Structure 1
Amino acid sequence: MIKEFFISLLHYFVDITTAVIIAAAVYLTFSGQQMENVILWQILFSGFITALPTAILLCFDPKSVKVSVVLWVIHFLLIFFITVMLLKMFGWCRITPLSVFLTFIAVVFIYFFTCCVHYLVARKHTAWMNQQLKNRYSKEEQDKKENA
């Protein structure tokens, strides 16, 4: 369980950090601002701080759809709140209704980016595992026919 948690944390960290870098690149391109070196460390820190609750909350295996939806809503709101706090802490922007709205849009983008990446990776991994199982069972069937 611990190993899976750390693997999940690493995956979320990489996905979230990649999405934050994309969002920052788009923002900096449109605003014309230059990025300071310290921002890269802040992005890495932000990726870790948001990956941690992601790995914790999403590691639960809820038995009902209702519980799953509640966990996803709590997760999204927590990530949004943490992101706004990090914006304020790092001084990336003034907290105004417009900046909160743009942050919301950025969090939605990052959220969907991360979900899509995880879905695609899981789908590919599942297809690979199914192929391996087919190969194994077809070989066992051939062995049974040869031995019969």
Structure 2
Amino acid sequence: MDEQYVEALKALAEPSRLRVYCLLVQIHERVCVAEAMDVLGESHYNVSRHLKCLLKAGLVTARKEGKWVFYTLKNDQTPFFTNLLAAVRGIPASEFKQEIKRCKQRLSMRQDGRCVIGPDSDEWKAVCPNMNKSKD
């Protein structure tokens, strides 16, 4: 069996990585680590590790722009990845209602489509004061 299938399924079997991937599926936007940290309430280490695992599994792509690395869904039209994406899209958006809301708020803080503030900033705290502190 081709290892890419195993890696993709293993990547999505971990709840936090599935959460990150589902967020990318639901928002149809690229996201940088700082934005994902604020949205998910996770540490830099955890978010980076999850995104790198999804990248290694061929589920997302990464593109560096300045000091930020932006992650997007990989556009793989092979039957396996198309069906895997369809399965994830089958998870009701209501399961990620709060994350989607926070993500839209966080993305609205961009300037010219670019992330301009770091994670856990005063600007973010003012917009989303009830967000949990980042955890390790």
Shorter-chain TM band: under 0.3
Q: Calculate the TM-score normalised by the size of structure 1.
A: 0.26
Larger proportion of helix:
1
Q: Calculate the TM-score normalised by the size of structure 2.
A: 0.27
Larger proportion of strand:
2
Structure scoring higher RCO (CA < 8 A, sep ≥ 6) equals: 2
